[in-house]
Every structure is written in C-alpha cells, then in structure tokens.
C-alpha cells in the first residue's frame, strides 16, 4: 500500500506499509517472527517457488514485517520499491554484487565512510572489481572515470566525516549523459533532510542503524530504487536476467532480492525491520530537533577559544554552507530565528591540538557517550583516527580530514542546554 508522494514526508513515514484491514485492525506493523510460511498444498508451495502463487515462502527471501518496512521506506523516498539488508555495509555489498562483477568498473567518491573504504579494499577490489576513487568537485577526473563505462557512481549525501557536499546536479547530469546510475548513500542526512531523488540519484541507500531507527537498537541497511533509471540500459548480467524475466521497471529490485537476499542471505531480520519501521515514524521530528541542537552546539564550539576547525554545514561560515542550503531541507523548511540555516543533520566535527587533548576532553564528558554510531537519541562522540579510520592509509585519512585532534559528535535528543553544558565542562581546560 504505497502512500501517494503528494502527502507529506512525515505522513508517509507513519502510514507507509500499514495495511490495517489485512492486519485485523492493528495500527502498528505486526511482527511476523517466522522463518518459514506454510501452504495449503504441495502444488501451491511449488507454484510459489516458481513465482506463480503469491505468498511468503521463507524469511531469507521475504517476510511480511520486512516487506512493510521496505514499503514504508519506499513511500518516504518516493521510490519504486526497497530491499532491506542486515546492515548498511550489507546494503553496499548488495549494490556492488548486483551492479558489478569481476573485470567491471565502479566509481566511488573519494570522501567516504571508513567502513566503505575498507570494504572496497578488502572485498570488492579483491573480487576483481576496479574501483576509481574520484573527487566529486574535480569535473575532469569525474568525466574521465565515467567515460570508462562504470557500472555505478557511488557518493555520500554528506561525507562521513569530511562533511563535504557534492555538486549533485552536475554529477547527476554527467552520469546520466553516460547511462551510469548514481547511487547516493544518504545515511548522515536520512530521507527527512535530503531527497536523493530530487538530486538525480537512481538509487538511494541508508544504514538504517543511524537516523532511520534512531535509538541505537538495530543494525540494518536499505536500498531503494527511485524509478529514474532505465535498467534495460545496464549491462550487469544479474540485472539483464531480470530485465528479461520481470521487465526493466523491477529488474534492479528483483536482482537484489535474488542475488543479495535469496542467494547471499543478507536480508534484514523481521525484528530489526519492526524496530526500524517504528523508528521511521518519528524520524521527521527527530532529524529536525537534532539539526537544531547540532547547530547550537556547533555555534557554541565555534566561539570556544580552545577549539578550532568546527565543521557543520548549517553554520554560515562552513565551506559547504551554500550547498547545504541548496540540498538539505526539513519537514518545516530551513531553520528560522537565531538558528537560521539549513537543517544539516546531527553530525559535526571539531579539532583539538592533538590526540591526547582529544582523548582527555572525550573522557571528561559526563552525558555524551564514547561510542561508534550516529543519529542516535543519545549524544555520541568518537575519535575517528583511532577508531573508524585506524585501518585506513595516511592518504585516506588525510583526504577525509581525519587528523589526530579531530573529534566527531553526533548530537542526540537530550535538552540542548545539557548537551552544551557537558561540552562546556569537558573543554574547561582546553
């Protein structure tokens, strides 16, 4: 039951995927915690395997709770359909497995989450997929890479933790002129603050572990086909097979389900889908509140004499502020009053003189938790150089702006004066 895209995002996030009549009046998405599903007859079961009889067969392939979450996300994104995976990394792996194979090429933005960099090095490149890392602001390099016939162009809506914002229209136009699908990892912004579809993406993905679920309870990932790409023009064998079988409109999703779900088994669990669907209901208000509090904390830190290099795209002084204004939005529009500026999500970074100063300040925090997640209801801090990026090369760290003094903060939903007060006492000696 797809919600019309004309309805507001918050409405779609609450009503998408709910079938009240079919679910005996239940107003929440029911949790079907069942591995398999029984059929009336052996003939029906055989027909279901052949795709001739409707129904769920086995939760590695599909499950009503997971499907309801997929429908809700697809409604929020304005997409054709979604595939929910065990984690954000599983979603990235699913994309690579379906769109590329040994000997083919893919283009990735240079500014990436450390886990994605490591996945590409440890898995994709070892499997013989050629990865070109390109700076999205280097038009010539991008054109050159796109001219090599890559299977996808993958970039983040807001680089983690570089907090850079690509020039989406230009990138999408260059890719579309060469029939290359643009995939945006919009994890840091969530669908509440960023529309990948409006920015020209063919596909959007999220680590739902973050803002979508929003309370740090469930690892998950989701990939949504935004219905903008003609899959009959893609030369991946996994897609070509589905173009012949289900047609170009659903070929990408069918390939994800067959290759990543049925064959590789990275399907999201029903319980995680239940938690993520529940989280999605409050995403709009959470993302706005977190953006406002992040803006206030970033403003406070910018004025702190012991802190340098505060980065938050919502700040007018930020190098990516103009792009944030163009691409980021919230349910009730840009912020007004003293916090004027675009809703830019929960993540900000700041710099202290070195690693020991960063560790000391982090250790003095009483409210914020030292933990590796983001978009959580709790404020979280991490030192990227010694954690997410500890396995990356010096060059990879440099490019992502990961220095020894860099601290990343994901602002939570606590009272903003308590968050600022916590940083104030932790930075008293800085």
Query: Which residues are near ligand PLP by CB under 6 A?
Result: 87-89, 113, 115-116, 156, 160, 185, 187-188, 207, 209, 219, 221
**Of residues 16 and 115, the one with the C-beta less far from ligand PLP:** 115
Residue 333, token pair as written in the block: 């529009």
Per-residue HEC secondary structure of 47-62 comes to HHHCCCCCCCCECCCC
Residue 342, token pair as written in the block: 């675009």
**Of residues 14 and 381, the one with the C-beta less far from ligand PLP:** 381
Residue 356, token pair as written in the block: 């020991």
Provide, rounded to whole angstroms, the least separation between the CB of residue 221 and ligand PLP: 5
Cα 70 from Cα 177, distance rounded (Å): 30
Q: Which helix (H) or strand (E) holds 382?
A: strand 380-382
Residue 232, token pair as written in the block: 């009959």
- What SS3 state is found at 421? helix
**Of residues 369 and 430, the one with the C-beta less far from ligand PLP:** 369
Count other Cβ atoms within 10 Å, centred on residue 216. 19
Provide, rounded to whole angstroms, the least separation between the CB of residue 96 and ligand PLP: 13
Contact 183, 201 (CB under 8 A): yes
Rounded to a whole number of angstroms, the distance between the first and last alpha carbons of the chain is 54
**Of residues 199 and 416, the one with the C-beta less far from ligand PLP:** 199
Select the residue whose beta carbon is closest to ligand PLP and give its number.
88
Count other Cβ atoms within 10 Å, centred on residue 366. 9
Residue 373, token pair as written in the block: 């997640």
Cα 242 from Cα 250, distance rounded (Å): 8
Provide, rounded to whole angstroms, the least separation between the CB of residue 276 and ligand PLP: 11
**Of residues 250 and 274, the one with the C-beta less far from ligand PLP:** 274
**Of residues 154 and 231, the one with the C-beta less far from ligand PLP:** 154
Sheet holding 105-109, edge to edge: 81-85, 221-225, 203-207, 182-185, 153-156, 105-109, 130-134
- List the beta strands (DSSP E) in 262-331: 308-311
Q: Identify which of 290, 302, 298 has the alpha carbon closest to the alpha carbon of residue 314.
A: 298
Provide, rounded to whole angstroms, the least separation between the CB of residue 160 and ligand PLP: 4
Cα 252 from Cα 311, distance rounded (Å): 37
DSSP state of 338: G
Pairing of strands 182-185, 203-207: parallel
**Of residues 347 and 427, the one with the C-beta less far from ligand PLP:** 347
**Of residues 223 and 427, the one with the C-beta less far from ligand PLP:** 223
Omega before residue 161 within 30° of 0, cis:
yes
**Of residues 176 and 215, the one with the C-beta less far from ligand PLP:** 215
Q: Identify which of 307, 358, 149 has the alpha carbon closest to the alpha carbon of residue 236.
A: 149
């Amino acid at each position: 039951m797809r919600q019309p895209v004309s309805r507001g995002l918050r409405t779609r996030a609450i009503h998408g995927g709910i079938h009240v009549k079919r679910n005996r009046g239940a107003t929440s998405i029911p949790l079907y915690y069942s591995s398999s599903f029984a059929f009336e007859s052996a003939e029906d079961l055989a027909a279901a395997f052949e795709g001739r009889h409707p129904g769920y067969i086995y939760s590695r392939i599909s499950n009503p709770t997971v499907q309801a979450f997929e429908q809700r996300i697809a409604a929020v994104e304005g997409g054709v359909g979604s595939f929910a995976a065990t984690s954000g990394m599983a979603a990235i792996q699913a994309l690579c497995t379906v769109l590329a194979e040994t000997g083919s090429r893919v283009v990735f933005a240079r500014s990436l989450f450390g886990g994605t960099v490591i996945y590409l090095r440890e898995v994709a490149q070892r499997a013989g997929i050629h990865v070109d890392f390109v700076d999205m602001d280097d038009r010539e390099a991008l054109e050159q890479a796109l001219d090599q016939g890559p299977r996808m162009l993958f970039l983040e809506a807001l680089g983690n933790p570089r907090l850079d914002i690509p020039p989406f229209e230009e990138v999408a136009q260059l890719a579309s002129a060469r029939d290359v699908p643009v995939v945006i990892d919009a994890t840091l912004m969530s669908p509440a603050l960023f529309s990948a579809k409006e920015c020209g993406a063919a596909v959007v993905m999220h680590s739902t572990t973050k803002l979508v679920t929003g309370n740090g309870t469930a690892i998950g990932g989701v990939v949504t086909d935004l219905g903008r790409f003609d899959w009959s023009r893609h030369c991946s064998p996994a897609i070509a097979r589905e173009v012949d079988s289900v047609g170009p409109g659903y070929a990408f999703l069918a390939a994800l389900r067959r290759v990543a779900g049925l064959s590789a088994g990275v399907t999201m669990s029903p319980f995680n889908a239940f938690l993520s669907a529940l989280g999605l209901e409050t995403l709009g208000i959470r993302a706005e509140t977190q953006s406002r509090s992040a803006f206030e904390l970033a403003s406070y830190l910018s004025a702190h004499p012991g802190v340098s290099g505060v980065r938050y795209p919502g700040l007018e002084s930020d190098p990516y502020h103009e792009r944030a204004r163009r691409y980021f939005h919230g349910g009730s529009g840009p912020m007004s009053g003293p916090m004027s500026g675009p809703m830019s999500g929960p993540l900000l970074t700041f710099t202290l003189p070195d690693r020991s100063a960063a560790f000391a300040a982090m250790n003095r925090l009483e409210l914020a938790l030292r933990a590796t997640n983001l978009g959580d209801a709790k404020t979280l801090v991490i030192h990227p150089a010694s954690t997410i990026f500890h396995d990356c090369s010096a060059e990879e760290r440099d490019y992502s702006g990961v220095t020894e003094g860099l601290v990343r903060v994901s602002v939570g939903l606590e009272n903003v004066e308590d968050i600022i007060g916590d940083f104030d006492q932790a930075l008293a000696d800085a």
